[in-house]
């Protein structure tokens, strides 16, 4: 495509034809502020924060949707532009609950930053009626506070385009417009999949995860409770962002030390649970493949995906692996094998999970996740953001902590377990074990590069022990829907499918640190975090689940072998068809 010549703020630039003014300005190193815009997801020109002046135009134009053309002259910060943006911010604030000091997004709110940058005073220009809304606390994973909503519709776009759920949208009109579910149903009463992608897309404090930190604090202060904390693979490459580390930094040691400083009795690695999942899942796949039973088999470690399947594709439930997720397997093993091994009454074991995922909160409440009758496998789920808030509140100087180590016997996880946090990681981990189990030979090269990367849908065929294994990997449940439709129609045939609810996998989960839209629009955050996990995999002493000595021990001492009767009682589960509407 040919380039065009434009003038921005009096300087000449050459930019690709077809660019919007916003894209052209950013390519020239000029930042135009935005609120509603998210690259490739939401470009609707609704918020009017990105308006600029174009010579010859009758009025200011929205830079996020206005295309450049040859010879265009653009002014991004003229007095007229600045005044317009200030007025827009004042209008937004006129119908906005301004409890910024105690808001969960204080210091990381895009509206707050813009008001600071543009010098909005305490005495606002526009005062009048304000909409009042009750907080929607019906969902198990999040809260909606529409008194802080600015109607940017970023949450709506993510829910529809990335997740394929589309359970929220704009209700009413004019001043009464609000974001909610159809017919004003509570979020907990619709086919929400609990992924939390709307939370990470929201620029303000209108959406946030259910805060469960007090449950953790209460357990730590209960002398009868033994508090076991597990941390998911993606946490180690996300948590550092809350403390100023570059995106994708591996902060495993400091994370362990911080959790121990918060009062945990033991800190374990969910990588162990991931390795346990691979042992069960890889062997389950081998059995299904040999018997041609409910193929393709589809992974079940992403609770947002499982809930999506239950709501939108219940006919595919028989294809789901019966394995619990790594979180669930860890909790179930802790309250059975570990309790027995350590001589602890299971009711005194409190399992807390630190997860990059809000759907894990929903998963922890599933009635079929109870290896010990009357006790949940997981007692509380804390997101990465909640953990960061607890660390800060406790006065723990994260950056100054020495590197701690996970406790035994669940402290050792393989590289296969750590890459679970990236899309394609579960598939790759399973293939490492399935290959060596079926062939009896050692893999010369552990990387299955065809299933790596952040593309929404990937596919490959591998020859293992003379058998052609057709695999597919997808992330973002909208992509899952596309893939399943192709499978159902016969257009595609696979033997094994990995699905992650969140685009890019757990590294981009709904409980991860929230990055400003300007970062999201210019950097592939999910790829940067995934790179940290692949680096961790390369550096770990054990890189295959079946070679983890802690895994070998738990089978030798308790489960016997993968997919044994005992393993099915503790580590496997079932699923429930749910209403779509």
Q: Which of 40, 332, 325, 300 is nearest to 157 (CA)?
A: 40
Q: Which residues face 4 on adjacent strands? A: 15
Over residues 171-176, the mean pLDDT reads: 94
In angstroms, the CA 166 to CA 83 distance is 36
Whether residue 3 has pLDDT greater than 70? yes
Identify the three-state secondary structure at position 524.
Answer: coil
Condensed to tens digits (0 to 9), the pLDDT of residues 486-520 reads 999 999 999 999 999 999 999 999 999 999 999 99
Average per-residue pLDDT in the chain? Answer: 95
The tokens of 118 are what? 């543009």
Question: How many C-beta atoms lie closer than 10 Å to residue 111's C-beta?
Answer: 25
User: Angle at Cα 128 formed by Cα 122 and Cα 132, nearest 5°?
Assistant: 95
pLDDT of residue 122: 66
Condensed to tens digits (0 to 9), the pLDDT of residues 141-151 reads 999 999 999 99
β-pairing, 11-16 with 51-54?
unpaired
pLDDT of residue 128: 84
CB 180 within 8 A of CB 222: no
Question: How many C-beta atoms lie closer than 10 Å to residue 374's C-beta?
Answer: 7
- Cα–Cα distances (Å) from 44 to 16, 34, 556, in that order, read 21, 11, 58
For residue 42, which phi and psi values (nearest 5 degrees)? -145, 100
438 against 216, higher pLDDT:
216
The tokens of 553 are what? 């021990």
Over residues 25-43, the mean pLDDT reads: 94
Q: Which of 453, 243, 499 is nearest to 359 (CA)?
A: 499
Q: What is the DSSP letter of 31?
A: -
> Domains of the chain by range and CATH?
3-77 (3.10.20.740), 110-209 (3.30.70.20), 214-419+509-571 (3.40.50.1780)
β-pairing, 297-298 with 349-355?
unpaired
pLDDT of residue 580: 78
Condensed to tens digits (0 to 9), the pLDDT of residues 339-363 reads 999 999 999 999 999 999 999 999 9
In angstroms, the CA 39 to CA 462 distance is 35
pLDDT of residue 1: 60
Condensed to tens digits (0 to 9), the pLDDT of residues 118-138 reads 999 866 678 888 899 999 999
Q: What is the DSSP letter of 119?
A: T
In this prediction, what percent of the chain has a pLDDT beyond 70? 99
Over residues 99-125, the mean pLDDT reads: 91
Give residues with Cβ within 8 angstroms of 180, minimum separation 6: 136, 144, 146, 168, 169, 171
Whether residue 380 has pLDDT greater than 80? yes
Whether residue 102 has pLDDT greater than 80? yes
Condensed to tens digits (0 to 9), the pLDDT of residues 400-424 reads 999 999 999 998 899 999 999 999 9
- Cα–Cα distances (Å) from 141 to 129, 233, 371, 379, 382, in that order, read 31, 20, 22, 14, 10
In angstroms, the CA 505 to CA 501 distance is 7
């Amino acid at each position: 495509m040919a380039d065009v010549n434009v003038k921005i703020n009096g300087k000449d630039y050459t930019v690709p034809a077809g660019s919007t003014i916003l894209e052209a300005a950013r390519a020239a190193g000029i930042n135009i502020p935005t609120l509603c815009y998210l690259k490739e997801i939401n470009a609707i020109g609704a918020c009017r924060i990105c308006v600029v002046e174009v010579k010859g135009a009758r009025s200011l134009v929205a830079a996020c949707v206005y295309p450049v053309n040859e010879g265009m002259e653009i002014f991004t910060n003229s007095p007229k532009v600045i005044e317009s943006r200030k007025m827009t911010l004042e209008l937004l604030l006129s119908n906005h609950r301004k409890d910024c000091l105690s808001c969960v997004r204080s210091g990381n709110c895009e509206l707050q930053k813009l008001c600071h940058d543009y010098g909005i005073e305490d005495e606002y220009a526009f005062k009048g009626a304000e909409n009042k809304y009750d907080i929607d606390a019906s969902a198990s994973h999040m809260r909606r506070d529409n008194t802080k909503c600015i109607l940017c519709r970023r949450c709506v776009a993510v829910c529809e385009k990335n997740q394929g759920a589309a359970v929220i949208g704009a209700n009413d009109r004019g001043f009464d417009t609000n974001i909610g579910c159809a017919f004003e149903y509570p979020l907990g009463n619709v086919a929400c999949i609990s992924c939390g992608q709307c939370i990470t897309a929201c620029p303000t404090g209108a959406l946030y995860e259910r805060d469960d930190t007090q449950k953790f604090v209460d357990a730590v202060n209960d002398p009868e409770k033994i508090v076991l904390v597990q941390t998911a693979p993606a946490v180690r490459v996300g948590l550092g962002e809350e403390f100023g580390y570059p995106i994708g930094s591996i902060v495993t040691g400091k994370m362990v030390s911080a959790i121990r400083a918060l009062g945990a009795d033991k800190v374990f690695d969910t990588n162990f649970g991931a390795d346990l999942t691979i042992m069960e899942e890889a062997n389950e796949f081998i059995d299904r493949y040999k018997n041609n039973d409910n193929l393709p088999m589809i992974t079940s470690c992403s609770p947002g995906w499982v809930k999506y399947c239950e709501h939108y594709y219940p006919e595919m439930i028989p294809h789901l692996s019966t394995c619990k997720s790594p979180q669930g397997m860890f909790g179930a093993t802790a309250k059975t094998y570990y309790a027995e091994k350590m001589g602890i009454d299971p009711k005194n074991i409190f399992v807390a999970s630190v997860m990059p995922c809000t759907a894990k909160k929903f998963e922890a409440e599933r009635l079929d996740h109870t290896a010990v009758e009357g006790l949940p496998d997981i007692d509380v789920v804390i997101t990465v953001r909640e953990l960061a808030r607890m660390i800060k509140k406790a006065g723990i100087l994260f950056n100054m902590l020495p590197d701690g180590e996970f406790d035994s016997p669940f402290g050792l996880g393989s590289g296969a377990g750590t890459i679970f946090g990236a899309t394609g990681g579960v598939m790759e981990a399973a293939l490492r074990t399935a290959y060596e189990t079926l062939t009896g030979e050692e893999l010369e090269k552990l990387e299955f590069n065809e299933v790596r990367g952040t593309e929404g849908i990937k596919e490959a065929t591998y020859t293992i022990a003379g058998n052609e294994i057709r695999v597919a990997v997808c992330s973002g449940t909208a992509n899952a829907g596309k893939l399943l439709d192709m499978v159902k129609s016969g257009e595609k045939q696979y033997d094994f499918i990995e699905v992650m609810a969140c685009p890019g996998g757990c590294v981009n989960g709904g409980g991860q640190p929230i990055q400003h839209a300007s970062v999201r629009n210019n950097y592939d955050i999910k790829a940067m975090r995934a790179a940290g996990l692949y680096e961790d995999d390369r550096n770990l002493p054990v890189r295959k689940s079946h070679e983890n000595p802690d895994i070998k021990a738990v089978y030798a001492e308790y489960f016997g072998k993968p997919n044994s009767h005992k393993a099915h009682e503790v580590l496997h589960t079932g699923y429930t068809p749910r209403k779509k509407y």
